[in-house]
Amino acid sequence: MHVLLTAGPTYEPLDPVRFIGNRSTGKMGYALAEAFAATGARVTLVSGPTALPTPANPLIETVRVETAQQMYAAAAAVAPRADVWVFAAAVADYRPAEVATEKIKKQGDTLTLTLVKNVDIAATLGETKRTEQFSVGFALETTNELLHAHDKLLRKNFDLVVLNSLRDAGAGFGHDTNKVAVLDRVGQVLTFDLQAKTELAHRLVQLILSRFTAVYAS
């Protein structure tokens, strides 16, 4: 079993000092990597910038990246030979059209930035997914959560999507706990109450592997 797993944020540079990013810590993705490895699976962990230590487990190969384009390149190199894909990273949707070579100096009352769309890693790789491969995405929504998550599942060719909501206390970015709902292609929704991300990771891995086994057997 070989698992491709993305985790953490991406940083899109404005200049040598500043970047566009988000509040992802990578904790959920790293917990998933450890949980997959605990089952004996080999894991390629493509990690954006985080303060988390590199996993010491010999079954986990960590590839450090910074930008969305770098994450895509690293994931695309592994995806064809991986059995399971898990996209837990919080990838920036846009990046600055131009990156200044020197620190941008403060001038005037406003600063206008032109942003261009980043590659959609999960959707692009989803176009190449083979029938024997299994893909899992993560969605963080603030409104119409189930509707948007199901739409993402279809658009990106996921088999499961794990939905986080910022409305839930103790869940989402920066916490050691999480509460999620998992949607599948037939509209079934499974909920996991608030619990430690390490514990939740093991439960999600059990679910993913059971669904993967069912798909592979068919």
Which of the residues are catalytic? 22
Question: Residue 147 belongs to what H/E stretch?
Answer: helix 145-155
CA distances from 39 to 13, 72, 174 (A): 37, 26, 26
Do 139 and 33 meet the contact criterion of CB atoms below 8 Å apart? no
Q: Which long-range contacts (CB under 8 A, 24 or more apart) does 52-61 make?
A: 52/8, 52/25, 52/26, 52/27, 55/30, 57/33, 60/33, 60/34
Phi and psi of 121, rounded to 5°?
-60, -50
Question: Residue 194 belongs to what H/E stretch?
Answer: strand 189-196
CB neighbour list of residue 218: distance below 8 Å, 6 or more residues apart: none
